[in-house]
Amino acid sequence: MSKLVRKWSLITSLVVSSAAYSPHAFAQSPDPLARDQLATVEQLRTDAINAISKGRFDQSSELIGKAASISQDPTITQMSTWIRAYDAQRQKFSAERHKQFEKEVANVKKLQASDYSTFAIDAVVRAYLVADNKDTFRAEAWVNDLIRKTVLDAESAEREEHWLKAQRLYGDLAQVDPANPKWKDQLKLAARRSRLLGMYTPDQFRALIDTEIAFLDAANAVLEPATQPTTKPADVQNDEFKIDWKEQLKDVQMSQVRTALIEARNNYWREVDYKTLMTGGLKGLHALVGTAGLEKAFPALGDENKRAAFTAMLDALTARCNAAGAANDSKLLATTLDQINDVNTQTINLPEEVIASEFADGAFAELDPFTNMIWPFDLEEFNKSTQGEFSGVGVQIKLDERNNLQVVTPIEDSPAYRARMRSGDIITTINGKSARGVTLSQAVKKITGPEGTSVKLGLQSPDGKERELEMKREKINVLSLKGWDRKPTGGWNYFVDEQQKIGYLRLTNFTKKSADELDQAVARLKKDGAKGLIFDLRGNPGGLLTAAAKIADKFLSEGTIVSTKTDPSRDGPNQPPLEAQKTADDLGPDFPVVVLVNQMSASASEIVAGALKDWARATVVGERTFGKGSVQMLFPMPSRSAYLKLTTSHYYLPGGRCIHREENSTAWGVDPDITVEMTRDQQIAANDARQDQDILGYGEDGAIAPATQPSTKKDVLAADPQLNAGLLVLRVKLAASHAQVAGK
């Protein structure tokens, strides 16, 4: 062979060899080994992505590690780095979870060995919630023994009328033994008794709380002897802003209850008769007259003869209702309410508003937890929660560990923000009166008020300096949508991963303005080149159905979003399902989305997450949702000063699943595509880190500035495994998509 031929052969060989490393040349490469290697890497990458989408993180880490070992592709290397980092964090959280389980099991033994054995069930519940296998843990002999003892302790607390203790114990039993409906029934009864004392005899109830807290602190001292009690009651009780039951029940009338009962009989989501409603109302009155201590508010209850006469009437009416047939059901409403009124006047003579309120509470408790009266006193707060606006100074507050009113953050562009209220400030006075010992609801009532009126707040900063601010109340628009962190110039930065262009939006509730807020944020994200989105619905309790439909429609171009149906026992047509509509500003199907949910994602949150999951439009990450899938409508009472909030139907997802959780349901809510559980301690740590990033502060020049340092971003990611799992899903999907585009 001539030198020229040999030289040409060498050049050809080099060209072919170099082409083997080009992603564009594999398809034409005659080298079977190269083709096989590419096919292997591609398959490993695909299998790793599929494993992640199913929450099999161990498998995905192993698969992508193999791909990285035989490929120099920087995309594979980056994916391997992301997956290994998440796997390391996941192992860390898993170890923390197991450590917490072992700690709680040890706590059970400590408490059993002390004089605080009734608190041992609390530790069992905490261990149960973090157990690797809940059923196996629940079946252990020593757990069953402790449950049997707790049942006896709860029954003893009931007999001794220690309602807070009974409420705690039955609450624990309901969590660790959820299949037994008795515990929920007993919990409701104990909670009702506690509520009665709290409403009508708040001083006595406060003493019960302090006693229970003292026992709890003593039990905690057994577990952590070196620490100080963390559940300290207020040093001072403030009567300046006390709201008594007369104010809360002002303008409540039995005629309103009568109208509400008729509406419930005619419009509840399933067939319900007056027998059920009347017997429930009578139970409510039984609890009222049978709860020791209420004679301090209503002296006539201390007269045994009068109370016995009223109780005998309740028993007779209950027997009559139970014996009534369908033909007589319609007569029960008038005869029952009229006789209650007559006998009350002749015996204990309680105020009409008290009888009306407690009868209504008992009657509607027979239906479901979400059907109830909205009395005149509650109407303003209810409207705030659904409308997303109120009149005030625009400040978020909380009670600190010493029960001081503490500023969480001012709301941007509000009177509080312009007056330079700061996170950490303590509100010491409201309109010149001490705020020490004031409850949150009392403070909100006094700080909010008619637009244009003024309020004076005394403040103490963390360094001890005191000042007083007088501010005019304005209409405050509370934004329901938040981004990743605050911009130095105001507003939100929406990117959780700037390099990969992954956006982050967190919706706190569904108001009439939520869809518009989402439109504005999405437009910003698109303009800034977003390629994926994490939509955080954790802790979102829901809100307006119309808002949920509009928000789901943003991600869907067609198909059913949600259907509402009544029970077959109720005559009448169902409402037509809500359908998605294609619009120009929809997020297209190629824009990857992750939805984060947890056990406190409810109602409208479940509609959005469920629709996006059923249509395979998003990957849902987190924990099974709450299961609040019932539709409530407002029925106005005469003069529209009060409303009945009544369940009229249930939500069904596009796949046919009912969201709602009934008493003995095994399937409810939305199951995530990828389950990532968090312990209570992990949730607290993540929420604290998240809240720090939401706080508004001020720069040295007085301009808006984030109240935390940029490093807080790392803290949030380090504390939140659900967010990290969602971020990993999007990073890997986007990387794979880029690789496919590059390979074409």
User: Which pLDDT band, with edges at 50, 70 and 90, does 77 fall under?
Assistant: confident
pTM, to two decimals: 0.83
Q: Which of 47-56, 60-69, 295-304 has the largest mean confidence?
A: 295-304
Strand partners, 508: none
Which pLDDT score is estimated for 112?
A: 92
Which pLDDT score is estimated for 674?
A: 95
Give tens-digit pLDDT for 43-59: 888 888 888 888 888 88
Q: Closest Cα partner for 593 from 573, 611, 570?
A: 611
Q: Which structure tokens are listed for 91? A: 């192992």
Q: Which of 414, 480, 563, 603 is catalytic?
A: 603
Three-class SS of 165-199: HHHHHHHHHHHHCCCCHHHHHHHHHHHHHHHHHHH
User: Which pLDDT band, with edges at 50, 70 and 90, does 387 fall under?
Assistant: low
Are 324 and 244 a contacting pair, CB within 8 Å? Answer: no
Segment holding 620, helix H or strand E: strand 619-622
Are 545 and 607 a contacting pair, CB within 8 Å? Answer: yes
- What is the Cα 64 distance to its own chain's centre? 36
Q: Which of 54-68, 239-253, 606-620, 703-717 has the largest mean confidence?
A: 606-620
Q: Which of 165, 384, 482, 628 is catalytic?
A: 628
Which pLDDT score is estimated for 486?
A: 83
CA dihedral 702, 703, 704, 708 (to 10 degrees): -60
Between 301-305, 691-695, 731-735, 737-741, the lowest mean confidence (pLDDT) is in 737-741
pLDDT of 151 above 80: yes
Give tens-digit pLDDT for 696-708: 665 544 454 554 4
251 is catalytic: no
User: Which carries the bigger pLDDT value, residue 540 or residue 408?
Assistant: 540
Topology annotation, domain 481-560+583-626+669-737 = 2-enoyl-CoA Hydratase; Chain A, domain 1 (3.90.226)
DSSP 652-687: E-TTS-B----TT-SS-S---SEE----HHHHHHHH
Q: Where are the domains of the chain?
A: 115-242, 247-366, 389-477, 481-560+583-626+669-737
Q: What is the mean pLDDT of residues 354-371?
A: 96
Pairing assessment for the beta strands 560-565 and 643-652 based on DSSP bridges: antiparallel
Q: What is the mean pLDDT of residues 178-196?
A: 91
614 is catalytic: yes
pLDDT of 389 above 80: no
Which pLDDT score is estimated for 238?
A: 54
Q: Collapsing DSSP states into helix, strand and coil, what is residue 161? A: coil
Which pLDDT score is estimated for 374?
A: 95
Give tens-digit pLDDT for 657-711: 999 998 777 789 999 999 999 988 888 888 888 877 777 665 544 454 554 444 4
Which pLDDT score is estimated for 372?
A: 96
Between 137-146, 447-456, 457-466, 657-666, the lowest mean confidence (pLDDT) is in 657-666
Strand partners, 405: 399, 427
User: Which pLDDT band, with edges at 50, 70 and 90, does 477 fall under?
Assistant: confident
Percent of the chain with pLDDT over 90: 55
Are 739 and 75 a contacting pair, CB within 8 Å? Answer: yes
Q: Collapsing DSSP states into helix, strand and coil, what is residue 290? A: helix
Q: Mean pLDDT in the chain?
A: 85
CA dihedral 479, 485, 490, 495 (to 10 degrees): -100
Q: Collapsing DSSP states into helix, strand and coil, what is residue 309? A: helix
Which pLDDT score is estimated for 12?
A: 33
- What is the Cα 519 distance to its own chain's centre? 24
Percent of the chain with pLDDT over 70: 87
pLDDT of 11 above 50: no
Give the angle subtended at the CA of 167 by the CAs of 277 and 541, to the nearest 5°: 70
Between 83-87, 122-126, 522-526, the lowest mean confidence (pLDDT) is in 83-87
Q: What is the mean pLDDT of residues 150-160?
A: 95
Q: Closest Cα partner for 721 from 539, 591, 598?
A: 598
pLDDT of 744 above 80: no
Which pLDDT score is estimated for 109?
A: 93
Q: Which structure tokens are listed for 357? A: 């309120």
Segment holding 644, helix H or strand E: strand 643-652
Size of the chain, expressed as the number of residues it contains: 744
> What is the rounded distance in angstroms from the CA atom of residue 618 to the CA atom of residue 613?
6
Give the angle subtended at the CA of 352 by the CAs of 190 and 361, to the nearest 5°: 30
Q: What is the mean pLDDT of residues 62-90?
A: 87
Residues 6+ apart with CB under 8 A from 138: 128, 176, 177
Q: Which structure tokens are listed for 283? A: 């139970």
Which pLDDT score is estimated for 241?
A: 64
Which pLDDT score is estimated for 697?
A: 61
pLDDT of 246 above 80: yes
Topology annotation, domain 389-477 = Pdz3 Domain (2.30.42)
DSSP 561-607: EEEEE--TTS-SPPPPPEE----TTS--TTS-EEEEE-TT--THHHH
DSSP 407: E
Residues 6+ apart with CB under 8 A from 496: 484, 502, 503, 504, 534, 717, 723, 727
Which pLDDT score is estimated for 699?
A: 52
Q: Closest Cα partner for 593 from 537, 633, 658, 654?
A: 537
Three-class SS of 313-359: HHHHHHHHHHHCCHHHHHHHHHHHHHHHHHHHHHCCCCCHHHHHHHH
Please count the CA atoms within 13 angstroms of the CA of 477 that sit on its side-chain side.
8
Q: What is the mean pLDDT of residues 57-69?
A: 86
> What is the rounded distance in angstroms from the CA atom of residue 310 to the CA atom of residue 542?
42
Residues 6+ apart with CB under 8 A from 715: 689, 692
pLDDT of 375 above 90: yes
Which pLDDT score is estimated for 572?
A: 67
> What is the rounded distance in angstroms from the CA atom of residue 288 to the CA atom of residue 294?
8
* Residue located via tokens 């789901």: 552
pLDDT of 739 above 70: no
628 is catalytic: yes
Q: What is the mean pLDDT of residues 375-383?
A: 84
Are 106 and 121 a contacting pair, CB within 8 Å? Answer: no
Q: Which of 52-56, 106-110, 384-388, 569-573 has the largest mean confidence?
A: 106-110
Q: What is the mean pLDDT of residues 333-361?
A: 96
Q: Which of 368, 536, 614, 694 is catalytic?
A: 614
User: Which carries the bigger pLDDT value, residue 138 or residue 379?
Assistant: 138
Are 540 and 605 a contacting pair, CB within 8 Å? Answer: yes
